Structure 1
Amino acid sequence: MINWFYLHLRAIGHALRRLVAQPLGTLLSALVVGIALSLPGGGYLLLDNVSSLVRGVSGTPEISVFLDTAAGAPDVAAIEERLKAEPALASYRFVPRDEGLRQLEAAGLGDVLGGLKANPLPDAFVIAPRGEDPAVFADLAERARGWPRVAHVQLDSAWVERLHALLGLGRSAVLILAGLLGFALVIVTFNTIRLQILTQRQEIAVSQLLGATDPFIRRPFYWFGGLQGALGGLVALGTVWLGVQALAQPVVRLAETYGAVFQLGGPDWRASLAIVAFAAFLGWLGAAISVRRHLAGA
């Protein structure tokens, strides 16, 4: 085990010396990887921020459960007990019929309602499920329709379904873009490692004559590709951060026009680690393919 760690540390040192020995080439490669990865990374981050902005502007989607006009206090209490025991529920509030009438009068319908002899509105519960999955909304609404003394259930999730469909389409497009750019970055690393192998052909031949094993020879190339990709991932994070800073104020002004308070957020540590790890994997993958393709003939 100690020997295994020593061999990898030696390979890392060799790869770092190669990177430092050609600063311009290392910088250009990191810029290519970073700028390419910043496109899908920034796009995915933008979708998450847009989702938060839309939720803030449109409000929380809700389900309205209207009781029968003949429902009494025991029926209301029974429905409330069901809601308290509902695990998919985030919150609920009870709207008595008198309060509903006052809300309609405040909305400018007082003249119309003034001609009525009695309050025609039923008691109602307004409930908010956990999350915004349309399937959760539909399932909870269907179960509420079967509760006693429930006359009508109004599902306010049409905009949620459209939002999920739009965001899902955007995320699919970002993933496709990430796949295409990732494939291109693998090709870039492939060619870089191929040139490394060609320039070290004689050194590799001497090492093989001295008894160096294939894993010993290949290991520095693997680390070279991985470290080069990780540097590109750091450049991608820096590019995304600069983009967030540049768009922060325009996004705040846009949110204010809708009466919302919103700030554009950057990637958290999990997203940052994922970007760097993904870039390092692409670099390692390109190096592995190139080594297996070209080192056999070195």
Structure 2
Amino acid sequence: MSAWFAQHRAALAAALRRLWSTPLNTLLSLLVIGIALTLPGFGYVALDNLRDLGNSATGVQQISLFMNLDASRKDVGEIENRLRQAATGKWHFVPKEEALKRMQASEGMAEIVASLPRNPLPDAFVIEPTNGEPEALEILRKEIAGWPKVAHVQLDSAWVKRFDAFLRLARLALWMLAAIFAAGLVAVTFNTIRLQVMAQAAEIEVARMIGATDAFIRRPFYYYGALQGALGGLLAAGLVFAALHLLGEPVGNLAALYGSSFALREPGPVEVAALAALGAFLGWIGAQLSVSLSLRKFD
């Protein structure tokens, strides 16, 4: 086992030396890989922020339950019990007196409200469901509509469905873009490793003559491709952070104009590690394909 670890340490050290020995070529390759991973990475973060923005928009995932005008406190208590048992999510009660005060405080409504013979507004509940999927919201709306003393249940399901359909389409487009750039990353690594194999053709011939196995010869190239891909992934994460930092203030100012405090969410450590791991995996695939084809010339 110690010999196995020693071989892998030696292969890793050889890969690092090769990266360091040609800094300009390494930098250019990392830039290509980083840009290839930045676009899908930034697209993923942008969609994630867009979903958060949609979830935080007022009323987008809220269900408004309006009671009958003749509903009593007992009827309101019955609805509260049903909401607790259903465990639908967060909710709060809006008494009709409070709704009337809000209406009276609105500009130009004070005189109109004062002229009314009685309060025309019903008691209401505002529900924020835990499950924001359009199908789940529609099922919940129909269930609540069947409860006693419920006059009307309002849900802007059409808006929610359109927004969800847009996110699905954008996610599909992102996967297609990611697949295209992943193929490009594999091609870049393939070509880089092929040049490495050609440059060390004499060393490979000598190594085979003294009994080196194919695994021993291939291993440094595999590490080279994986390291190059991982470093490119980390560079891509840095570019995504830089882009979000530049967009943070303009997006915050735009949100403030609409009375919101929305801020862009940056990728976490797990997402950065996933991007680096993806780069390493694609680099390893490119190295494996390149080495397998290139070493056939030495058979």
Q: Fold conserved (TM > 0.5)? A: yes
- 1:98 counterpart residue number: 97
Is residue 60–residue 160 contact of structure 2 (8 Å, CA) maintained in 1?
no
CA–CA distance in 2 between the matches of 1:223 and 1:279? 12
Equivalent AA in structure 1 for residue 150 of structure 2: V
Which residues in structure 2 correspond to 1:1-12 (within 5 Å)?
Answer: 1-12=1-12
CA–CA distance in 2 between the matches of 1:244 and 1:275? 16
- 2:182 counterpart residue number: 182
CA drift of 1:171 comes to: 2.4
- 2:237 counterpart residue number: 237
- 2:282 counterpart residue number: 282
Is residue 88–residue 136 contact of structure 1 (8 Å, CA) maintained in 2?
no
- Give the alignment's TM-score, normalised by structure 1: 0.90
Which residues in structure 2 correspond to 1:33-72 (within 5 Å)?
Answer: 33-58=33-58, 61-72=61-72
Q: Deviations over 1:83-122 (max 9, x none)?
A: 1122331x11122233333333334445555565443433
Bigger mean CA offset, 210-219 vs 155-164 = 155-164
Equivalent AA in structure 2 for residue 95 of structure 1: V
- Give the alignment's TM-score, normalised by structure 2: 0.90
CA–CA distance in 1 between the matches of 2:84 and 2:124? 15
Is residue 65–residue 124 contact of structure 1 (8 Å, CA) maintained in 2?
yes
Is residue 33–residue 232 contact of structure 1 (8 Å, CA) maintained in 2?
yes
Give the CA RMSD over aligned residues: 2.2
- 1:161 counterpart residue number: 161
Equivalent AA in structure 2 for residue 8 of structure 1: H
Alpha-carbon distance change, 118 to 254 in structure 1, aligned in 2, over 3 angstroms: closer
- 2:201 counterpart residue number: 201
Unaligned runs of 5+ in 2: none
Is residue 63–residue 153 contact of structure 1 (8 Å, CA) maintained in 2?
yes
Is residue 60–residue 159 contact of structure 2 (8 Å, CA) maintained in 1?
no
CA drift of 1:289 comes to: 1.1
- 1:133 counterpart residue number: 133
Equivalent AA in structure 2 for residue 5 of structure 1: F
Residue 295, structure 1, aligned to residue 295, structure 2: yes
Alpha-carbon distance change, 256 to 162 in structure 1, aligned in 2, over 3 angstroms: same
SS state at 1:85 partner: helix
CA drift of 1:79 comes to: 1.1
CA–CA distance in 1 between the matches of 2:70 and 2:244? 56
- 1:85 counterpart residue number: 85
SS state at 2:119 partner: coil
CA drift of 1:37 comes to: 1.1
CA drift of 1:152 comes to: 1.9
Identity, % of aligned positions: 48
Q: Deviations over 1:199-249 (max 9, x none)?
A: 222221222222222111111111110001111112112212221222222
Q: Which stretches of structure 1, 4 residues or longer, exceed 6 Å deviation after superposition?
A: none
Equivalent AA in structure 2 for residue 218 of structure 1: R
